[in-house]
Chain A
C-alpha cells in the first residue's frame, strides 16, 4: 500500500496567488513525522517544513505552512503569495516511528507559477 499519496501530478498557479499541494499518508504508528521538500530544475533537494505527529500547532516557515489534519491523515503544503521561483517539484515525505530517519516519499507535484 502506498504510504504517501500526492494526487496532483501538476499544478499551474498565477504569481502572487496562494497554492495548496495535497499530501495524504498512511501509517499505523503513533509517532511519525511529515516533511516537504522542494526540487528545482537544478535537481537538489531543499527542505521546506516539518510537522511532528504530536505537534499541536501547524508548522510554519516563512511563506510555507503545513495544514496538518491528523484524523484525515493529510499534510497539505500551503505556499502563500507564490513567486516565479517557486516553480519546482514538491515532495511530501514521512518518517515512521522514532529513531532512524528512514523517509518514504510521494511521487511529487510539479508546480508551475505563471507570471
Chain B
C-alpha cells in the first residue's frame, strides 16, 4: 500500500513549456484533488474529482487541466507554463465522506523560469 504517489519530485520548466504532473493512489479513494502551495501560504485547491470521468474546478484552476480516466490516477497538466505557476503541488485523495481526512502525496516542486 503506497498511499498517494507523485512524480516527479522536482521539475524545472521554461516559460511556455507543457508538462504533466502525475498522481496515483492505491486506496480506492473516490475523491482526488490537486493543491498548490506558494511560499509562506496555505494550500489552494486547483481541481478536484469525485470519481472517474468527473472533474471540477477549485479556487485557482486557470492554466491547468485535469482528467480522471481511472479511480487510481489524476494527472495535472500545465499547457503553457508561466513563472506564476512556480509552486509546490500536492495531490490528495480521500473517501467521499464527510469525516475522512485527505491523504497527501509528497509534493512536486515546480520552478518555471
Residues of A that sit less than 8 Å from B by CB: 4, 31, 33, 35, 37, 43-45, 47, 50, 52, 91, 93, 95, 98-108
Contacts and interface: CB of A to CB of B under 8 A. Distances in A.
A106 to B, nearest CB: 5
A4 B42 CA distance: 10
Interface of B: 31, 33, 35, 40-45, 48, 50, 56, 58-59, 88, 90, 92, 94, 96, 98-104, 106-107
Contact of B107 (A35, A37, A44, A93): A44
B107 A50 contact: no
A63 B40 CA distance: 26
A34 B100 CA distance: 11
A101 B42 contact: no
Contacts of A50: 99, 101
A43 B42 contact: no
A105 B104 contact: no
B52 to A, nearest CB: 15
Contacts of B107: 43-44
Contact of B90 (A33, A45, A93, A99): A45
A91 B92 CA distance: 15
Nearest to A32: B98
B33 A102 contact: yes
B86 to A, nearest CB: 15
Given A99-B96, A101-B31, A35 B45 contact: no
Nearest to A105: B42
Contacts of A107: 40-42
A35 B102 CA distance: 10
Nearest to A51: B99
Contacts of B100: 101
Contact of A103 (B45, B88, B106): B45
Contacts of B48: 100-102
B99 A33 contact: yes
